[in-house]
Amino acid sequence: MNYQEIISKIYDEIKCDFGKGKLADYIPALANINCKKYGVAISTISGAKFNFGDAEEKFSIQSISKVFTLTMAFCRLKENIWQRVGKEPSGNPFNSLVQLEYENGKPRNPFINAGALVLADIVLSEYEHPQDQLLSFVRELSGNEDINFDLKVAASEKEKGFRNAALGNFMKSFGNITNNIDAVLDFYFHQCSISMSCMDLARSFLFLANHGIIPGNDKRILTISESKRISSLMLTCGLYDESGDFAFRAGMPGKSGVGGGIVAIIPKELAICVWSPELDKYGNSYLGVETLERFTTMTGVSIF
């Protein structure tokens, strides 16, 4: 398949839509990004790579990091993890507090912020050097040793992180956060601040498209069943309260972040990452969703 031609054609079709979304200015360090940035990278299981635009430029991965911490937490707690966090779509915004009270401090799923704070708590308890081990894991998955936290972004989010602090404290009152809240928030803001390019992200999600094994070095990260579970959660919850619409339009499991990235996979085939920082009203990249819908429509490659 000539993915190269398709991704440049998609750009020509959507470039008139710059300006329809809005930057994530609630994190001050993300408010000054050039909103015209746009990149796409595709990595296939057979080792082919395609990229377009700003695909090599690093950006803030934000909630895409939740897939990495879910993988780390799942590796340790196995199926017991579902006692701490649910697996249903929330139908609410990513930073919402409302369901938590009705549901006794157990977040609906691992990808809303409340769920990711529980994952952060698990990683803090289960790993001896959580930040270093997260970075090593992401470096291994992406094959790029030059991946780091962006300390300015982490500090900027911490300064305004009142909602996440509220979520963490609220869950602690139900006993679903075991570590000190400040330590959990600090880890969470660091994981969200990781800087990666579309090329890094496409490569680092390939293990999920490959039944839990990193293609190339053949290292198994998850069992087939665990890899299925994480991919299924991406399909049902990866874009928050836009997950249903995204599944309808693009037909692939994906995970977004408010830095404007979306990574999606086609099992046994490829991982694709799009970056465009202007967000729609759900906090997902406006042009990212447009791009992925066109990608599966034009190629006929989707999970269905």
- The residues that touch ligand GLN, with contacts defined as CB under 6 A, are 62-63, 94-95, 113, 157, 164, 192, 257-258, 283
Q: Measured from the CB of residue 296, what is the shortest distance to ligand GLN in angstroms?
A: 22
Q: Where are the alpha helices (DSSP H) in the chain?
A: 3-14, 65-77, 98-102, 113-126, 130-142, 151-159, 162-173, 181-193, 198-204, 206-209, 224-237, 243-250, 286-299
Spacing of C-alpha 195 from chain mean position: 12
Q: Measured from the CB of residue 113, what is the shortest distance to ligand GLN in angstroms?
A: 5
- Residue 159 contacts by C-beta under 8 Å, 6 or more apart in sequence? 28
Q: Which is nearer to ligand GLN, 235 or 258 (CB)?
A: 258
Q: Measured from the CB of residue 10, what is the shortest distance to ligand GLN in angstroms?
A: 23
Q: Which is nearer to ligand GLN, 130 or 283 (CB)?
A: 283
Q: Which is nearer to ligand GLN, 50 or 111 (CB)?
A: 111
Q: Please report the sign of the dihedral spanned by the C-alpha atoms of residue 181, residue 146, residue 8, residue 47.
A: negative
Which residues does residue 41 pair with via DSSP β-bridges, in sequence order? 51, 273
Whole-angstrom distance, CA of residue 266 vs CA of residue 209: 6
Angle value at C-alpha 220, between 217 and 221, nearest 5 degrees: 115
Q: Which is nearer to ligand GLN, 62 or 197 (CB)?
A: 62
Q: Which is nearer to ligand GLN, 157 or 269 (CB)?
A: 157
Whole-angstrom distance, CA of residue 231 vs CA of residue 265: 8
Burial of 291 (C-beta count, 10 Å sphere; 0-12/13-18/19+): buried
Q: Which is nearer to ligand GLN, 110 or 212 (CB)?
A: 110
Neighbours of 35 (CB within 10 A): 17
Q: Which is nearer to ligand GLN, 192 or 270 (CB)?
A: 192
Q: Measured from the CB of residue 236, what is the shortest distance to ligand GLN in angstroms?
A: 16
What is the number of the residue whose Cβ is closest to ligand GLN? 63
Q: Which is nearer to ligand GLN, 43 or 193 (CB)?
A: 193
Q: Measured from the CB of residue 167, what is the shortest distance to ligand GLN in angstroms?
A: 9
Q: Check: CB of residue 192 under 8 Å from CB of residue 62.
A: yes
Q: Write out the two tokens for 138.
A: 């992401």
Q: Measured from the CB of residue 180, what is the shortest distance to ligand GLN in angstroms?
A: 18
Q: Measured from the CB of residue 242, what is the shortest distance to ligand GLN in angstroms?
A: 11
Whole-angstrom distance, CA of residue 289 vs CA of residue 173: 37
Whole-angstrom distance, CA of residue 76 vs CA of residue 79: 9
Q: Measured from the CB of residue 9, what is the shortest distance to ligand GLN in angstroms?
A: 29
